[in-house]
Structures are given as structure tokens and as C-alpha cells.
Amino acid sequence: MFWDYLSQNPESIHQVMILMGDRGIPDGYRFMHGYLGHTIKIANKKGDWVYAQFHMISQQGTKFLTQEEAATKSPDYSQKDLFEAIEKGDFPKWSLEVQTMTAKEAEDLWERQKINVFDLTHIWPHKQFPLRKIGEFTLNQNAKNYFAEIEQVAFNPAHMVPGIEPSADPVLQSRLFSYPDAHRHRVGVNYQQLPVNAPRVNYRMANFQRDGAMSFFNQGNRPNYISSIEPIHFRERTVNLDKLHGHFTGNAVTFLSEIRKEDFNAPRALWEKVFDNKAKDRFIKNVSGHMTNCKKEEIIKRQIAIFREVSGDIATRLEKATGIKGYDGISELTFNGTHNGMTKNKSKRVANGMKGVTLSVSENNGAPTRGSHGKLNNGIIVH
């Protein structure tokens, strides 16, 4: 199922290359970077905002394990390493660094370089948008009770502090509601009342949520609406949320997106500019070794075709390692998980080979285009 899914969703190729490369098995949590991945918006008190990407850069550096080394480690190796380091006072640290981009720069980035800031698989060029350190964080305390503090914790990207707002990234938008839904199912409808998930403030939170299993703060007899009998006292907002709205205009994609040539630029740069020769050898060994678990040759042929769009070198090496000749590319393939924007055969472009479907995919494939943010002044939204 692993390679079947990937061979039907070619937009996954960049993440697949990271997973199967040296970064895929870090030598413990202390020696890996972290990334927000999604584009967000950060705003100042005036309500001016820019797009941003957050990076957590390990001050310990990065290390990785080979397949052979990983096989000698316990499944709890990374957790044990982190726990013991904190216990002995060797607190790991990360630098919080940010890339920023104005709305105008986001539009130009698509128009000129076909990089979509709303696409989770696209990378912001570091030379154009350099990383700037804005802080750091330290892990200096272990959990006392694993279940209460770890198993019950519920992270939710919709919980944003003032000054940080979501962008129109469609995957982020879906996660804003899917994550809390998952927590309601996994932990319970009142998961936000648990100490590990509750806000740490010097006032009581007031909302319109009531009842449900294990509600231990049900807000007394206060009405569950904005009442004149017992008014809610709102805290003064530090930012104007109406002004923060991007006024972004774009076409809705009603069913799936489309794989295009630009989607292979980031994984190609990873192969050609980041991986050295030894890293490439390990990558081919990792991928071909895992492919032996797949018993359907057709799936491997399709996956090699996807790798061929990244680099002919990858495809040739995998063909030699697996003994399976892959397709020449994806132009003659139909995918289940995405429309094929790289085929000239209309019958193969639509996902699943569906008939009578009008493609709702726009030319920009969801990216911000010139003028899509409305009126701009020096790249900033004007209201």
C-alpha cells in the first residue's frame, strides 16, 4: 500500500525524498530541525501583515542514522536520548528563524518562478528570502506523568496567538478544523479543559461550549449566548482581525489539484544541490530496498516514472537496483489522487479517468497571481 499510494499521488515526491534520504532517520530528536511547513501571516499592531515561514534550527547540529545503524536501536531510542539529556541538564536548544514575504512578492514569485507560497511542497528560496533569527527555545523539563502530559496533549494549528494568522494554504485551512475534530474523538469533547491543554491565564475563559462528557468547568449558570443579563467582558484585541483579512481572490478547486512541472523543481534541487554522492547512494539503497516489499511490478514502474521527472539519474539507478524498467515519465499516466497536468492526452489528464468532468483547476493551481490580493501599497494590503 505504501508505494501504491505514492505512485498515485506524485505531488508527494519531495516529501518522499526527504523521508528516504538521510533526514528520514535523525539520530534522535535533539539532532533534527523543525519546520512549520505551512505559510502563515504575521501582523504588527497596525494590522500590516506579511507571509511567513517558521524554521526551528537545532543548535546541536543535525545527525542521522543509516539503515544498518537504525536496526541496532530500540524503538524508543530517540525519546530515551531526549529524556536522559534533559535529566542530566544537557538541555537541547533550537533557534526560531523566520522567512517573510509581502503579498506582492508572493504574487511575483508565482508569476516569475512558479513557486506557490500556498503549496506545502514548494520551498521559498533562501537567497531571496533569508532566514532571520527571532528567538530560541529550550527543552528543560521532562514530563512527570506521561499519560497526563503527553498522551492527552492536543496540538491544534487553529490555536494562534494574536499577530499570527492562517494563510490561504488549503492544507492548513483543512487542518484548522480537522485537528480539533480528531482531538474530540481521541481525547473527548472537553479536551481543552484538561490542564495540559487549557490556556494558562489569570482569567476564566468564556465561550458558548457546554456539557459533554467530563466537563468539569461548565461555566455555571451563565447563558450560552452574548447576554445582557450576565454580560461577557471581552479583552481588548491587540490586532484588528478585519484588517488582517487578506481579501485574497482565487478560483475554488472543487476536486483535487493538478501535478505540474514546477512541482518537481524542489525535489530536483534536493537531489542535485543538497545530496552529496554518498547521500545519493544511501538514498537509492533505501528506496530500492523498501521497494522489495511491493509485489506488484506495475506500481514500481509508475513510481520510477515519477522519480524520472525529478532526475533521470534517480530513475536509472533505481532500475538497475530493482531490475524493473520504469515508464519514461508521467505524461502517459493517469493518477487516482491528482489530475495530470503534464499530459497532452486529454483522456489521461483527469484523475481516475473520470468522464464528463470539467476541470476546475485554474492556470495558477491555487497560487496567488498578480492582483489577486486586491490593492497593494509597497506590497502591503491597503484597506
130-153 tens-digit pLDDT: 999 999 999 999 999 999 999 999
- 320 band by pLDDT with thresholds 50, 70 and 90: very high
Q: What is the pLDDT of residues 332-372, one digit of tens each?
A: 998 988 888 888 888 888 888 777 666 655 677 778 888 87
Read off the pLDDT of each residue in 85-108 and give the average, rounded to a whole number.
96
What number is the average pLDDT over the span 97-108?
Answer: 95
pLDDT number for residue 238: 77
pLDDT in tens, 204-244: 777 888 888 888 888 888 888 888 888 877 777 777 777 66
pLDDT the model gives residue 307: 97
Confidence of residue 248 (pLDDT cuts 50, 70, 90): low
Q: Which pLDDT score, from 0 to 100, does residue 207 have?
A: 80
Of residues 366 and 27, more confidence is placed in: 27
Residue 222: predicted pLDDT: 82
Q: What was the pLDDT predicted at 21?
A: 95
Tell which wins on pLDDT, 215 or 254: 215
> What's the pLDDT at 360?
56
* Confidence check: pLDDT of 157 > 60: yes
User: pLDDT at residue 383 above 60?
Assistant: no
For position 256, what pLDDT does the model report?
66
Q: What's the pLDDT score for residue 142? A: 97
The rounded distance, in Å, linking the Cα atoms of 7 and 271 is 19
Greater confidence, 278 or 353?
278
Output the CA torsion sign for 7, 8, 10, 11.
negative
The more confidently predicted of residues 370 and 90 is 90
What pLDDT does 237 receive? 77
Q: Average pLDDT of 312-334?
A: 95
* Percent of the chain residues past pLDDT 70, beyond the cut: 92
